[in-house]
Chain A
């Protein structure tokens, strides 16, 4: 199995604060890899580096064998790397269907075509059906509940048939029933061949779902391995309790 994503000695500084300190890890294709660590360990910053929202101060990031040069979320998305956000970002003034259609790759030639073509509508409806949001197809995204927005955001990532999906705290702020739903979807998609990198604080979820699990502390990787093993690693316990 080849590494789909390789982070090699990535570094990021904000003024005097070192958020990411020569962090290295890799994500193998076909896994649900977890990324955990106490608050301030740099997880979200690493996400931002990987997805091109922030330029790295040092180190190299390789996706699918190719180096991620200029930080450019658009190019990475087209290469198959999509992320979600903690706050469940959707396009509030657009409908659910439009939200999904935007996530599907378009060529510039289609600029003049109608907003939602019939084929796209069908695809969107199918996806909405999977996520049980079908009834809300025409609803403006601003009117969805937080949980529904999370699902919508998740669904949108799938429209472009990505290779790697980065989930930023998918279980944050939602009730346990919805967490279960989200977990179910992740497993289903994983079975279909999708690779996930999940940042999470919900430990039971991580233990159930992720293998391997990578632990960061103060911007560095301190442990990596199967969930059980990481859970018992003294370094990890130290990081969480000693912080």
Chain B
């Protein structure tokens, strides 16, 4: 029982971080119908940048977040303009996978050149500390990571709900044609939306780097999990992504604790298959079949 609860705690904490990562992916898809396979690589990029800020300038990762986020937002907008906007509407969904995969490879390559392939970790002073609450170990770093993730997620939701820009983004996600007819500049919204999704990646990366060791190749592990999460949550649904992420985090931790750690990453795939057989559109996705 103790192990169960311990695993649940760990799972939820990890799930929170996944939630932040996945929400960026979901947003990117919602705004532009683009599956950003490079999200994993961008998260790792964020991790590296945060690591560099800490190890070279002594800036705590959570503070460094504030610097990184706007920079990565700008990067996101730039990437969208250069690589995604030129794609025509009809082929965008299909080609975006390949284009963003290429971007991921490029980022991985650049990071390998800059940092070599040794594993790094942003080891802060509190990285090893843990609290003991009712006999359960709770890693301080993970709690901070979880809290930071939800703060950023909260900010993202707030921006989407309460700002004019956010409303424009949501309108575009729901119905791009209608949004355009209502005067929303969908091109600008796409750029901004993508920028936001990359910005969340940087925050997620900073947070990730504290808890897990990483190297340039780690993005594959991440993206495979994230893709499963957004399919489970339903493509384009931010709320779905968050729920799915928490669920997956929990499931993975429980599986790892109760059954086997080496196979824990399989939980993602198993859940994915189960969902696809029963409900291909995911938990919160719209049914794609059929011409309406």
| Chain A residues engaging chain B, CB cutoff 8 angstroms | 44-45, 48, 53-54, 71, 85, 89
Contacts and interface: CB of A to CB of B under 8 A. Distances in A.
Contacts of A44: 292
B291 interface: yes
Interface of B: 289-292
14 contacts: A44-B292, A45-B292, A48-B290, A48-B291, A48-B292, A53-B289, A53-B290, A53-B291, A53-B292, A54-B290, A54-B292, A71-B290, A85-B291, A89-B291
Nearest to B290: A53
B130 to A, nearest CB: 45
Contacts of A45: 292
Contacts of A48: 290-292
Contacts of B291: 48, 53, 85, 89
Contacts of B290: 48, 53-54, 71
Contacts of A89: 291
Nearest to A86: B291
A65 B292 CA distance: 26
Nearest to B292: A48
A169 B289 CA distance: 22
B131 to A, nearest CB: 44
Contacts of B289: 53
A89 B292 CA distance: 12
A90 to B, nearest CB: 13
Given A48-B291, A48-B292, 6 more contacts: A44-B292, A54-B290, A54-B292, A71-B290, A85-B291, A89-B291
A172 to B, nearest CB: 16
7 A-B pairs closest in CB distance = A53-B290, A54-B290, A53-B291, A48-B292, A48-B290, A85-B291, A54-B292
A54 B291 CA distance: 8
Contacts of A54: 290, 292
A69 B290 CA distance: 16
A53 B291 CA distance: 7
Nearest to A87: B291
Which of A54, A71, A85, A89 has the most chain B CB atoms inside 10 A of its CB? A54
A109 B289 CA distance: 27
A99 to B, nearest CB: 17
Q: Which of B289, B290, B291 has the most A CB atoms < 10 Å from its CB? A: B291
A71 B290 CA distance: 10
A44 B289 CA distance: 16
A71 B291 CA distance: 13
A87 to B, nearest CB: 9
A71 B289 CA distance: 11
A149 to B, nearest CB: 16
Contacts of A85: 291
A89 B290 CA distance: 14
A153 to B, nearest CB: 13
A100 to B, nearest CB: 20
Contacts of B292: 44-45, 48, 53-54
A13 to B, nearest CB: 13
Nearest to A71: B290
A53 B288 CA distance: 10
A45 B290 CA distance: 11
B178 to A, nearest CB: 14
A65 to B, nearest CB: 25
B183 to A, nearest CB: 23
Nearest to A52: B290
Nearest to B291: A53
A89 B291 CA distance: 11
A108 B291 CA distance: 25
A73 to B, nearest CB: 8
A85 B290 CA distance: 12
A12 B292 CA distance: 13
A54 B288 CA distance: 10
A53 B289 CA distance: 7
A54 B289 CA distance: 8
A12 to B, nearest CB: 11
A102 B290 CA distance: 19
Contacts of A71: 290
B102 to A, nearest CB: 27
